[in-house]
């Protein structure tokens, strides 16, 4: 038997609860992992509360990432005792995920846990930090360098945003952190933000072109915020877009793209090819100051994910939530 958060819709209504499950109930897969830590992400919160169409089949164990130790494997790539982690691939949406003490998945979805990280540290980084690193790598590929000017990070007090601020600052960029939570200003400065901006002016419809300011940006908000960010990026700059906390729409114009030659790079973390995943985690283990993770991280038990999910969706959680699935 093992403990897991299980999302069900039969019998009605939609609900998530802590259950004791039998190992025989696990879905098919080549590798069984004894999960040590998982996380609570925005997508997980939507799955637990039912406030977004995240879960694609029922019943479902949510949890889009996890880290732990291989218990059984029918694939030669992994042996019992290997330390592994997983992000994405529809886990927690279409395949049982990491908010459980056991997970059974395809071998190709796993990557080795970097030697420099413990399972807990890897989940303090989690999908949010992995996504933030993919965004940083995208800016670098498009030629954005520390000497080019300021970088804007929207939704900076959240999981992706806070780690993006820490990463960019460590890499030598001057970072402006945008947030709707002014009480988090000191927290963001401690992570390395040089300036704190109120999100309100960016959240409403703006001009097709604004004053050039940003050499690059990482956006987790979407909608008017993303359109206004693009309108204020300097000539030849780039924006990495990875979220839609403010909406899926993009009410902008082509003006910044054809008059200033900016690039809008979409960042998908779910189906990212393995080489990108391995490189992102290699960079995280090198470029992220691990001691700063504690500033970003709150640890909770498996049962606590049920009430924390609503708080996360309400914007009342900063940084990262690590879930110790064994308590």
DSSP states along 212-244: --EEEEEESSBHHHHHHHHHTEEEEEEEEE---
Query: Does position 33 have pLDDT exceeding 80, yes or no?
Result: yes
Average pLDDT over residues 134-160: 97
Sign of CA dihedral 168, 169, 175, 178: positive
Query: Does position 262 have pLDDT exceeding 90, yes or no?
Result: yes
Average pLDDT over residues 248-273: 97
The predicted pLDDT at position 167 comes to 97
Degrees to nearest 5, angle at CA 195 with 183 and 186? 30
Q: And the tokens for 267?
A: 């960042």
In contact, 18 and 301? CB cutoff 8 Å:
no
The SS3 call for residue 1 is coil
The predicted pLDDT at position 17 comes to 96
Residue 232 CA to residue 13 CA, distance in Å, equals 46
State percent of the chain over pLDDT 70.
100
Residue 9 CA to residue 57 CA, distance in Å, equals 10
Query: Does position 3 have pLDDT exceeding 90, yes or no?
Result: yes
In contact, 293 and 136? CB cutoff 8 Å:
no
Residue 87 CA to residue 91 CA, distance in Å, equals 8
Nearest to 91, CA basis, from 131, 134, 55:
55
Query: Does position 256 have pLDDT exceeding 90, yes or no?
Result: yes
Domain definitions of the chain by residue range = 2-113+290-324, 127-266
Sign of CA dihedral 301, 304, 306, 308: negative
The predicted pLDDT at position 275 comes to 96
Average pLDDT over residues 300-313: 95
Residue 290 CA to residue 52 CA, distance in Å, equals 32
Query: Does position 207 have pLDDT exceeding 80, yes or no?
Result: yes
The predicted pLDDT at position 11 comes to 76
- Beta bridge partner(s), residue 175: 151
Q: Map 68-135 to HEC letters.
A: EEEEEECCCCCCCCCEEEEECCCECCCECCCCECEEEECHHHEEECCCCCCHHHHHHHHHHHHHHHHH
Query: Does position 171 have pLDDT exceeding 80, yes or no?
Result: yes
Q: Which tens digit of pLDDT belongs to each residue from 132-146?
A: 999 999 999 999 999
Query: Does position 296 have pLDDT exceeding 90, yes or no?
Result: no
Residue 257 CA to residue 279 CA, distance in Å, equals 29
Residue 160 CA to residue 91 CA, distance in Å, equals 19
Q: Which tens digit of pLDDT belongs to each residue from 93-104?
A: 999 999 999 999
Residue 243 CA to residue 240 CA, distance in Å, equals 10
Query: Does position 77 have pLDDT exceeding 90, yes or no?
Result: yes
Residue that wins the pLDDT comparison between 159 and 230: 230
CATH number of the structural domain 127-266:
3.40.50.720
Query: Does position 20 have pLDDT exceeding 90, yes or no?
Result: yes
Same fold, 2-113+290-324 and 127-266: no
Residue 157, burial from CB neighbour count under 10 angstroms (0-12, 13-18, 19+):
buried
Residue-wise over 24-33: b if at least 16 C-beta within 10 A, else e?
ebbeebbbbb
Average pLDDT over residues 244-250: 93
- pLDDT band for 294, please (50, 70, 90 cuts): confident
CATH number of the structural domain 2-113+290-324:
3.90.180.10
Query: Mean pLDDT of all residues in the chain?
Result: 96
């Amino acid at each position: 038997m093992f403990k897991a958060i299980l999302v069900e819709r039969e019998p009605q209504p939609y609900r998530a609860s802590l259950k004791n499950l039998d190992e025989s109930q696990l879905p098919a897969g080549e590798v069984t992992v004894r999960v040590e830590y998982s996380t609570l992400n925005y997508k997980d919160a939507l799955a637990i509360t039912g406030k977004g169409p995240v879960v694609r089949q029922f019943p479902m164990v949510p949890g889009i990432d996890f880290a732990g130790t291989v218990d059984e494997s029918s694939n030669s790539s992994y042996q019992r005792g290997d330390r592994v982690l997983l992000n994405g691939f529809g886990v927690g949406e279409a395949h049982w995920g990491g908010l459980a003490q056991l997970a059974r998945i395809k071998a190709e979805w796993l990557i080795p846990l970097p030697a420099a990280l413990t399972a807990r540290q890897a989940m303090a980084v989690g999908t949010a930090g992995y996504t933030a690193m993919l965004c940083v790598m995208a800016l670098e590929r498009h030629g954005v360098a520390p000497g080019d000017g300021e970088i804007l990070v929207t939704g900076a007090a959240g999981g992706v945003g806070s780690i993006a601020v820490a990463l960019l600052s460590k890499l030598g960029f001057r970072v402006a952190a945008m947030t709707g939570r002014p009480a988090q200003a000191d927290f963001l400065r401690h992570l390395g933000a040089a300036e704190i901006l109120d999100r309100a002016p960016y959240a409403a419809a703006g001009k097709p072109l604004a004053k050039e300011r940003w050499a690059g940006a990482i956006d987790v908000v979407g909608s008017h915020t993303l359109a206004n960010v693009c309108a204020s990026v300097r000539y030849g700059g780039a924006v990495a877009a990875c979220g839609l906390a403010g909406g899926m729409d993009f009410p902008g114009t082509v003006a910044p793209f054809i008059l200033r030659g900016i690039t809008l790079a979409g960042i998908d973390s779910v189906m990212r090819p393995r080489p990108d995943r391995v490189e992102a985690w290699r960079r995280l283990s090198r470029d992220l100051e691990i001691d700063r993770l504690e500033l970003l991280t709150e640890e909770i038990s498996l049962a606590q994910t049920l009430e924390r999910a609503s708080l996360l969706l309400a914007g009342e959680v900063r940084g990262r939530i690590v879930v110790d699935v064994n308590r």
